[in-house]
Structure 1
């Protein structure tokens, strides 16, 4: 049995300098919980997996809207594990994330890792629509295979538009059926943890970090617009997170 589920989050200013959550709608395996924020004006929502998902054939989605002036952080309680379906002819699973951030609003999208288990097939899309003065911090981490196993098939696309114009549109593919060379020296070089950190900040209009290497397997790239993209590979999830956290601290410090 496949699962079709869409969870929804809406964040708005509460009129007292903080952020309210008038819509917090869980569905299927996507359970949403309001949790304590580390910064008071910023609301925080944690996604808690209520069952094993996504399995082959599942259709999962999260829609998040941050209205003008609101501040929201979304994270998750544990890694998401893409698993094989119940039979050989099951269609790929899909996981679609839609983010909308209004004027003067801020969204920190910081889920835990996505693990592509052997035999799974997942197609993931993340689409972000940002107002001109919106701020976005978005982290993606993909672990190709659980310990001691090969990866499943993972196709992931990230599309970001700012003020109605394209800012970033890229797709990656790993595992069986992906274009040749994905695990070669020009792409992963034998690593099985890959991630990226996107920071879109209107403050970068005046001063934006320059493109540069961040160690032997990570690079910070200045985008056309007030944004930077950090891309990294690592032997495991722990080292990948360390690289991305360090990059975020460096970008925040200017």
Structure 2
């Protein structure tokens, strides 16, 4: 679904809108769909899984640009296991001056539930403008695995991002209390910022991984053995682990991410994650 909006020169530009709402509930040993809604350019596909309910999100508009707006809400109900990914990397294209694409995601985990939020990479192109919010509310004994990978232009295509407006916000609340709040803001010449040795030393891809689960801190030492020199992991408490990683490009990022995510999930990754 698209909406017309005024653009420069009096030309009406088409803007994409999409909403997706999904809940997983427990039925016997399996997790199944408990609630489902899709509208506009947001689609959900459901490959056959085992115990977990797997969902693959698809943006049928082909990407995000200025003025687009997407909302995703996902709930893992009591005892259920929901795993979400995307069909492909999300592409964020050049925006018209003064316009920003917006993506808001809300995740909820009830008692004893598990939710794996594993979108593929978001690729930011030159001139992109994106404002994203990801908020999580979880029960004390729930298990959250969250991964957010970013790529700043495709190195293999010779792309450079010298004009960018990007903001990311991640908030995680457990039992009504904040346990993690993360903010990323990049404006202007992203390539120059990332080239700074004190920032990314020329890396063009990055990822944040969070494991909020009982006993999460026990994974720190094994993960340090798996990380490249450009990555780091810390336990912010016995039940909260945060990992950051930089890589020269998307392929190298995924090459290191996949075994880490397999370890933290305890299962094979959704098929779209195959290298």
TM-score by length of 2: 0.82
1:190-232 per-position Cα deviation (integer Å, ceiling 9, x unaligned): 1110101111111337x45359573210001111350111100
CA contact (8 A) 1:102 1:131 kept: yes
Tell me: CA distance 1:252–1:92, structure 2 relative to 1, closer, same or farther (3 Å). closer
Residue ranges of structure 2 left out of the alignment (5+ in a row): 1-13, 267-275
Q: CA RMSD in A?
A: 2.1
CA contact (8 A) 1:66 1:101 kept: yes
User: Does 1:96 pair with 2:107?
Assistant: no
Q: Secondary structure at the match of 1:36?
A: coil
Instruction: Give 2:142's aligned residue.
Output: 134
Instruction: Give 1:230's aligned residue.
Output: 243
Instruction: Give 1:163's aligned residue.
Output: 175
Q: Secondary structure at the match of 2:39?
A: coil
* Shift in Å, 1:41: 1.4
Instruction: Give 1:83's aligned residue.
Output: 93
Q: How do 1:66-215 and structure 2 match up within 5 A? A: 66-85=76-95, 87-89=96-98, 91-146=99-154, 147-151=157-161, 152-176=164-188, 181=193, 183-204=195-216, 207=218, 209-210=220-221, 212=224, 214-215=227-228
CA contact (8 A) 1:153 1:177 kept: no
Aligned equivalents of 1:204, 1:190: Cα separation in 2:
31
1:37-81 per-position Cα deviation (integer Å, ceiling 9, x unaligned): 2xx211100012212231101111101111110001101110100
CA contact (8 A) 1:76 1:111 kept: yes
CA contact (8 A) 2:19 2:41 kept: no
CA contact (8 A) 2:42 2:57 kept: yes
Q: Secondary structure at the match of 1:239?
A: helix
CA contact (8 A) 1:193 1:240 kept: yes
* Shift in Å, 1:133: 0.5
Aligned equivalents of 1:226, 1:141: Cα separation in 2:
22
TM-score by length of 1: 0.89
Paired residues, number = 246
Residue ranges of structure 1 left out of the alignment (5+ in a row): none
Tell me: CA distance 1:153–1:81, structure 2 relative to 1, closer, same or farther (3 Å). same
Aligned equivalents of 2:189, 2:248: Cα separation in 1:
23
* Shift in Å, 1:153: 2.6
Aligned equivalents of 1:78, 1:127: Cα separation in 2:
22
Instruction: Give 2:67's aligned residue.
Output: 57
CA contact (8 A) 1:102 1:134 kept: yes
**Structure whose residues are more often helix by fraction:** 2
1:164-197 per-position Cα deviation (integer Å, ceiling 9, x unaligned): 111111111234177x945421221111101011
Tell me: CA distance 1:177–1:97, structure 2 relative to 1, closer, same or farther (3 Å). farther
CA contact (8 A) 1:174 1:182 kept: no
